[in-house]
Amino acid sequence: MMAENHHSWKGVLLKNEPMARYTSWRVGGMADIFYQPADIDDLANFLRESDYSLPLTWLGLGSNLLVRDGGIRGIVIHVLSGMKNISLLEGTLVRVEVGVPSARVARFCANNNLCGAEFLAGIPGLFGGALKMNAGAFGSETWQIVDSVEMIDRHGNLIQRSVDDFTVDYRSVQCPTDEWFVAANIRLKPGRSGESKSRVRNLLEKRNESQPVGTANAGSVFKNPPGDFAARLIESCGLKGMRMGGAVVSDKHANFIINNGAASAADIEALILHIQKVVAEKTGVELQTEVHIIGEAVND
């Protein structure tokens, strides 16, 4: 794939790495090639020297992701370890790399007397995932504060882009083809540190009260349909506590599926499809998944 002895990259390269170690559902088969870049420049070097024909998959906290039991072909880029710089550029502009946890962005902004990023405390994954899907919580969305973004392409070129280069909707962002987020500048408002900090604390508490924190789950499985809540629909169909293999619909929040320790990715996917079928039959609503399902199924 690449000349191992003359490479200019310095991150961690692993072969046949089990994805269950890197997803919050604790399931998933092997990634053929798994790379943890040391920083953005290192990622650029790695991509330049990699086989361009191999597909790329990007992974952060793995908190909104179902990797099938057959694993992932090509290269997985794991941004968690190396791309986690956050800095105050000037006044109210903050540069955030994709490996920074969303809750850390909320705290950093609050500590710097900036308001507008508190809602990120309610988002479980990394900032890169929040950017990719326009994640939101408590009535605010990520792209409401995005000022500009830094992308990287398959050949390791870094590209600066404005917000106008993207089509942003509820929980979805259309990106230029074969480009991926590496950082963004977010624009905030001057605020009072104490007020922002207490709001961040309250949001974290609220998230912990309403969601089954401490279990192996991937956050909200389904998008809320217009004017309704996925959890309400699932509960109204009597599906709380429903299980398939080791996957079970949470008793605490019906839009969460928990791996009780023995689930395969196939169990979780079967439960997702079952919920969609029952909800469609009983309510006429076609639930769309918010979690991304990737990789290959194991053929029986």
Annotated catalytic residue 107 = no
* DSSP class of 5: G
Contact, 298 vs 253, CB < 8 A?
no
- Residue 297 to residue 300: CA distance in whole angstroms: 9
What would the two tokens of residue 161 be? 């882009």
Beta strands in 111-229 (DSSP E): 114-115, 136-137, 140-141, 146-153, 158-162, 167-169, 172-174, 179-187, 189-190
- What does DSSP say about strands 93-97 and 179-187: parallel, antiparallel, or unpaired? antiparallel
Best CA proximity match to 130, nearest among 91, 177, 96, 164 = 96
Q: Exactly one of 17, 118, 269, 290 is catalytic; which is it?
A: 290
Tokens representing 162 are 């404005």
In a 13 Å sphere around the CA of 124, the CA atoms on its Cβ side amount to: 21
| Catalytic member of 171, 187, 201, 232 | 171
Is 209 noted as a catalytic residue in this protein?
no
Please identify which of the residues 220, 250, 264, 269 carries the catalytic annotation. Answer: 220
Q: Does the active-site annotation cover 193?
A: no
Neighbours of 270 (CB within 10 A): 15
Rg of the Cα atoms in the chain: 20
Q: Could you give the strand order of the β-sheet that contains 247-249, starting from the edge strand earlier in sequence? A: 243-244, 247-249, 257-259
Catalytic sites, residue numbers:
171, 220, 290
